[in-house]
Amino acid sequence: MDPILDVKNIYTYFYTESGIVEALDGVSFDVMPREPVGIVGESGCGKTVTAKSALRILDKNGRTISGEIIYKGVDLLKLPDMQMRRIRGKEIAMIFQDPMTSLNPIFRIEDQMTEVISLHRKCGKKEAKEIAIEMLDQVGIPDAEKRIIDYPHQFSGGMRQRILIARALSLQPSLLIADEPTTALDVTIQAQVLEIIKEMQKKLGLAMMLITHNLGVVAEITKRVHIFYGGRVVESGLTEDIFLNPKHPYTYALFESIPSLEVDKTRLETIPGMVPRLINPPKGCRFHPRCKFATEVCSRIRPPEIEFGRGRRVACHHFEELNLYIGKDVLREKTVQRDQVKEEV
Ligand SMILES: Nc1ncnc2c1ncn2[C@@H]1O[C@H](COP(=O)(O)OP(=O)(O)OP(=O)(O)O)[C@@H](O)[C@H]1O
Ligand code: SF4
Ligand SMILES: [Mg+2]
């Protein structure tokens, strides 16, 4: 089976007064049809830029200068603008972090949904409204038939995010990109919205790119995961394989940084050292200034991506000697603890 999305060696740069930001530096990964895939990494590692590169909605100063983004066999980077507009929304839908910025406060939900539905599904207003109500109902908006005439401010944050999910899914996309879809919401609401996303993904057989910081969410929803660091993919594989036996020192450090409840903490622990600046990033392996296993070669030569069984891919000079391993029980305990800490923050 071919991937629905095959991102091949893309380089996306931003041109700023201080210099060129090398945001994506040869990123490759794929998403199979109907597959929920996780995209994970610290802030600034290129997750959103990857999604925006695929949809060609980068900020004005950004450009994907090379590589291919193959969607259903077609390179999106080569498509004329007109065809790309059809892909956006109808084929590939994206849900952003903050539901308020994606809804226009001065229009009723009905107008904001039916307009896109009738445009993309080529149907009349009446049918578009029926589809909209049906979708709102499916994502758990109570009294959808009545509430569709309300304005965004009349809904809570969680309900607004459900509306955006309904709007995205009403166009029957094949691929859903959800970029930190719950971080702007209360913790209790986060779980409900994630449950909706998980349910809808299964029910509609969607391929999904779920961008998140939360390893608990990754474990629960995704089948495969791509770990990003400093504008590169450092490790890819089946979620269960990576959770039990991370092979890249950065992935290992991510799990290590899940906090323990025994120590009194008000915020999540992070991996020691700074996330790299992507103007003049570190040479060789971009993780070397923070890696406790780094050797001389790491600061000089970019590690190649090695592929082996079950779709596993790792970019580290020393992963074979290191043989990093996290025991199942230890990890489960740590993931639970992390979620508890999040709720208490
Ligand atoms: N318009 C821009 N101009 C300059 N640099 C940019 C621009 N947009 C993004 N970047 C840079 O590109 C890099 C990747 O950013 P991106 O938004 O993809 O991070 P992210 O992984 O989504 O982080 P977060 O988890 O915080 O959302 C960052 O270094 C960011 O500063
Ligand atoms: S290549 Fe070297 S610096 Fe990079 S992760 Fe592997 S050991 Fe660490
Ligand atoms: Mg982001």
Domain locations in the chain as residue ranges: 33-56+87-91+177-345, 100-172
Q: Is pLDDT at 249 greater than 60 in this prediction? A: yes
CA 159 / ligand 2 centre spacing (Å) = 43
Tell me how many degrees the CA angle 263-269-273 measures, rounded to the nearest 5. Answer: 135
* pLDDT confidence of residue 289: 94
* pLDDT confidence of residue 268: 38
Alpha carbon nearest to ligand 1 atom 30, residue:
44
Read off the DSSP letter of residue 141: -
Q: Which residue has the higher pLDDT, 7 or 309?
A: 7
CA 181 / ligand 3 centre spacing (Å) = 10
Atom number in ligand 1 closest to CA 21:
5
Read off the DSSP letter of residue 207: E
Q: What is the C-alpha separation between 62 and 56, in angstroms, rounded?
A: 10
Atom number in ligand 1 closest to CA 41:
21
- Regarding the domain with residue range 33-56+87-91+177-345, which homologous superfamily does it belong to in the CATH classification? P-loop containing nucleotide triphosphate hydrolases (3.40.50.300)
- Over range 80-98, report the average pLDDT: 90
Buried b vs exposed e over 226-235: b needs ≥16 C-beta within 10 Å?
bbbbbbbbbb
Residue 251 one-letter amino acid? T
Tokens of 292: 């406790």
303 lines ligand 2 (CB under 6 A): yes
* pLDDT confidence of residue 191: 84
298 lines ligand 2 (CB under 6 A): yes
Q: What is the C-alpha separation between 282 and 322, in angstroms, rounded?
A: 22
293 lines ligand 2 (CB under 6 A): yes
318 lines ligand 2 (CB under 6 A): yes
Q: Please, where are the H alpha helices in the chain?
A: 47-55, 81-90, 99-102, 109-121, 125-138, 144-147, 157-169, 187-204, 215-221, 239-244, 249-256, 319-322, 328-344
Atom number in ligand 1 closest to CA 51:
18
Confidence band, pLDDT 50/70/90 cuts, at residue 336: low
Question: Which ligand is closest in space to the CA of residue 282?
Answer: 2
Gyration radius of the chain's alpha carbons: 21
Alpha carbon nearest to ligand 1 atom 18, residue:
46
SS3 19: strand
* pLDDT confidence of residue 82: 93
Q: What is the C-alpha separation between 291 and 256, in angstroms, rounded?
A: 13
Confidence band, pLDDT 50/70/90 cuts, at residue 343: low
Q: Is pLDDT at 344 greater than 60 in this prediction? A: no
